[in-house]
Amino acid sequence: MTAPPDTALIDGLTTIVSQAAAAILSIRAKALDTRTKADQSPVTAADEASEAIIMEGVARLMPGVPIISEEANARAAAGAVGSDFVLIDPVDGTRELVAGRDEFTINLGLVRAGQPAFGIVAAPALGLVWRTAPGGGAERFRLPPGAAVDAASEVAPIKTRAMPKSGVVAAVSRSHFDPATDAFLTQLGTRFGAVTRLASGSAIKLCRVAEGAADVYPRLAPTHQWDVAAGHAILAAAGGTVTTPDRSTLSYPPGADALRVPGFIAWGDPSAVCRL
């Protein structure tokens, strides 16, 4: 297992994410200035402000480490040729942000040798942060947006739960649910009985599996590395795993042509992977 980062680094990065969270909420309270990108997905002034804060902070704390961020990926991805690089989604769940929902996050993850080494996921509107803990494992706490990490409260370790024999809870995408995911849930129900669907936006779904509030999260529609890496790191640290749809290990190769993830399944109980 990869050694966890030192406390000063992950605490510094958490504070930077908190500052970005405050910027998002400030802009949301005024005007988002929503526009449509070439891929027909929305982008707002909040995405751009959050990205600027995080990219500056990461470059300062981790000089020389390549950074890939959603809004800047075209120019940043070309530099991600080493074994270590940082993946940032400044607002994961922009559709939820624009719709007035609170289910959006900031995702920051470090990839090392193709696997996520640590991750931070913050939900600004909920005042929550999930992250890989500096001493190992994973944790969740409350942090007022804009506050330094030493203002955190309700700090608690989180762990996944064993797959229940019945009463499985599946986290599902509110905005990207598709027939393939529906078919997977039907198969899951055949094996484990009734499946409760917990709909949400953003990487919150990965965090729900990490904290044992859900058992599985299938995302069988395409997505991107910056959507998944931070939550993957947290889930793995909490005892879970993330696989490709064919149950092989999900990896994060660097380079401009490797940023898409064709789909994945997040499992709270790794032993369930071979039982389905």
Of the CA atoms within 13 Å of residue 34, those in its CB half-sphere come to 12
Q: What is the average pLDDT score of the chain?
A: 90
Domains of the chain: residue spans and CATH: 7-158 (3.30.540.10), 168-275 (3.40.190.80)
Strand bridging mode 260-261 / 223-224: antiparallel
Q: What is the pLDDT of residues 77-94, one digit of tens each?
A: 545 456 899 999 999 999
Cα angle 135, 137, 143 (rounded to 5 degrees) comes to 80
Q: Which residues of the chain have pLDDT under 50?
A: 1-3, 74-76, 78, 80
Instruction: Please name the residue that has the structure tokens 């804009």.
Output: 146
Tokens 């660097």 locate to 254
List of residues 6+ apart from 63 with CB closer than 8 A: none
Q: Is 122 exposed, middle or buried (0-12, 13-18, 19+ CB in 10 A)?
A: buried
Furthest-apart CA atoms within the chain: distance in Å? 51
Alpha carbon distance 85, 16 (integer Å): 17
The predicted pLDDT at position 1 comes to 39
pLDDT at res. 34 = 85
Length of the chain: 276
C-alpha 160: how far from chain center = 16
